[in-house]
Amino acid sequence: MRPFHYRAPRSLDEALALLTPQAVPLAGGTDLFLKMERRQTQADTVVDLKRIPELGRIEAADGGVRIGALALMDSLGASSLIAGQYEALTRSARVVGSIQTRNRATLGGNLANASPAADTATPLMALGASAEAADATGTRQVPVDQLFLGPGRTALRDGELLTAVLVPALPARAGSAFQRCVRTAMDIALVNCAAFVRLDGDDPDTVAEARIALGAVGPTPLRTASAENCLTGARLDERVVEEAGECAASDAQPIDDVRAGADYRREMVRVLTRRAIWKAFRRARGEA
Amino acid sequence: MEPPRIRITVTVNGEPYQEDVAATRSLLDFLRNDLGLTGTKEGCGEGECGACSVILDGRLVDACLIFAAEADGRRVETVEGLADGEALHPLQGAFATAGAAQCGYCTPGMLMAGKALLDRNPSPTHEEVAHGIAGNLCRCTGYGTIIQAVMEAAKES
Ligand SMILES: Cc1cc2nc3c(=O)[nH]c(=O)nc-3n(C[C@H](O)[C@H](O)[C@H](O)COP(=O)(O)OP(=O)(O)OC[C@H]3O[C@@H](n4cnc5c(N)ncnc54)[C@H](O)[C@@H]3O)c2cc1C
Ligand code: FES
Ligand code: FES
The CATH number of the domain holding residue A18 is: 3.30.43
CA A106 to chain centre: 11
Residue A155 sits in the same domain as residue A231: no
Domain span at residue A271 reads 174-284
Lowest mean pLDDT among A40-44, B58-62, B66-70: A40-44
B-chain CB neighbours of A99 within 8 Å are: 60, 113, 116, 131-132, 134-135
Residue A192 sits in the same domain as residue A233: yes
CB neighbour list of residue A14: distance below 8 Å, 6 or more residues apart: none
Average pLDDT on A78-88 reads: 96
How would residue A173 be classed by pLDDT, with cut points 50, 70 and 90? very high
d(CA A111, CA A142): 12
* CA-to-CA separations, A220 to A8, A93, A147, A186, in angstroms, rounded: 31, 19, 9, 21
Residue B77, strand partner residues? B55
pLDDT at A103 over 90: yes
Residue B1: the pLDDT is: 64
Nearest to B60 among A6, A46, A103 (CB): A103
Instruction: Report the CATH architecture of B90-156.
Output: Orthogonal Bundle (1.10)
The sign of the torsion formed by the CA atoms of A13, A18, A24, A29 equals: negative
Residue B14: the pLDDT is: 98
Where does A19-118 have alpha helices with state H? Answer: 32-37, 73-78, 87-95, 99-102, 107-112
Residue A180: the pLDDT is: 95
Closest by CA position to A280, among listed A147, A141, A179, A200: A179
CB neighbour list of residue A48: distance below 8 Å, 6 or more residues apart: A6, A7, A8, A9, A26, B69, B70
CA distance B4 to chain A (A): 6
Domain count, chain A: 3
pLDDT at A189 over 90: no
SS3 A22: coil
The DSSP letter of residue A251 is: H
CB neighbour list of residue B73: distance below 8 Å, 6 or more residues apart: B8, B9, B10
Average pLDDT on B73-93 reads: 97
B45 Cβ inside 6 Å of ligand 2: yes
Closest by CA position to A275, among listed A97, A88, A115: A88
Average pLDDT on B32-37 reads: 98
Partner B, chain A 140-159, Cβ-Cβ below 8 Å: none
pLDDT at B51 over 90: yes
CA distance B84 to chain A (A): 26
Closest by CA position to B108, among listed B31, B30, B54, B71: B54
A19-38 core/surface letters (b: 16 or more CB in 10 A; e: else): beeebbbbbbbbbbbeebbe
Best of A99, A102, A106 to mutate (most B CBs within 10 Å, chain B): A99
Residue A223 sits in the same domain as residue A135: no
Closest by CA position to B141, among listed B107, B109, B117, B118: B107
- For a ligand 3 pocket test, name from B44, B53, B141 the mutation site with the most ligand atoms within 8 angstroms of its C-beta: B141
Residue A184 sits in the same domain as residue A244: yes
B-chain CB neighbours of A3 within 8 Å are: 1-4, 22-24
Residue A32 sits in the same domain as residue A70: no
**Where residue A247 sits, what CATH number does that domain have?**
3.30.390.50
pLDDT tens digits for range B146-157: 999 999 999 987
Q: Which of A167, A188, A219 is the last residue of a domain?
A: A167
pLDDT at A209 over 80: yes
B-chain CB neighbours of A29 within 8 Å are: 65-67, 70
How would residue A128 be classed by pLDDT, with cut points 50, 70 and 90? very high
Contact between B58 and B112 under an 8 Å Cβ cutoff? The reply is no
Nearest to A101 among B2, B4, B47 (CB): B47
Q: Which of A167, A187, A221 is the last residue of a domain?
A: A167
Segments of chain A assigned E as strands:
5-7, 23-26, 45-48, 58-61, 64-68, 130-135, 138-143, 148-150, 153-154, 161-167, 174-181, 191-199, 207-215, 222-223
B44 Cβ inside 6 Å of ligand 2: yes
B60 Cβ inside 6 Å of ligand 2: no
Residue A183: the pLDDT is: 77
How would residue B3 be classed by pLDDT, with cut points 50, 70 and 90? confident
pLDDT tens digits for range B84-100: 999 999 999 999 999 99
Average pLDDT on B5-17 reads: 98
pLDDT tens digits for range A233-286: 999 999 999 999 999 999 999 888 877 888 999 999 999 999 999 999 999 999
Phi, psi of A87 (to 5 degrees): -55, -40
B93 Cβ inside 6 Å of ligand 2: no
Residue A203 sits in the same domain as residue A267: yes
CB neighbour list of residue A287: distance below 8 Å, 6 or more residues apart: none
Closest by CA position to A31, among listed B65, B69, B62, B30: B65
Average pLDDT on A191-206 reads: 96
B51 Cβ inside 6 Å of ligand 2: yes
Nearest atom within ligand 2 for CA of residue B65: 2
- For a ligand 3 pocket test, name from B49, B79, B103, B146 the mutation site with the most ligand atoms within 8 angstroms of its C-beta: B103
Instruction: Report the CATH architecture of B5-81.
Output: Roll (3.10)
Average pLDDT, chain B: 96
pLDDT tens digits for range A131-142: 999 999 999 999
Segments of chain B assigned E as strands:
5-12, 15-22, 53-56, 59-62, 75-77
Q: A104–B134: do the CB atoms touch at under 8 Å?
A: no
pLDDT at B45 over 70: yes
Q: Where are the domains of chain B?
A: 5-81, 90-156
Closest ligand to the CA of B149: 3
d(CA A171, CA A179): 22
Residue A185: the pLDDT is: 67
Residue A184 sits in the same domain as residue A209: yes
d(CA A126, CA A91): 13
Residue B82: the pLDDT is: 98
Average pLDDT on A55-69 reads: 97
Q: A103–B22: do the CB atoms touch at under 8 Å?
A: no
Q: Which of A146, A167, A188 is the last residue of a domain?
A: A167
Q: Which amino acid is at B131?
A: H
pLDDT at B137 over 90: yes
Work out the angle between the directed axes of helices A87-95 and A262-284 (0-180°, nearest 10): 140
SS3 A126: helix
Average pLDDT, chain A: 96
- Give the residue, by CA position, lying nearest to ligand 3 atom 4: B138
Residue A135 sits in the same domain as residue A220: no
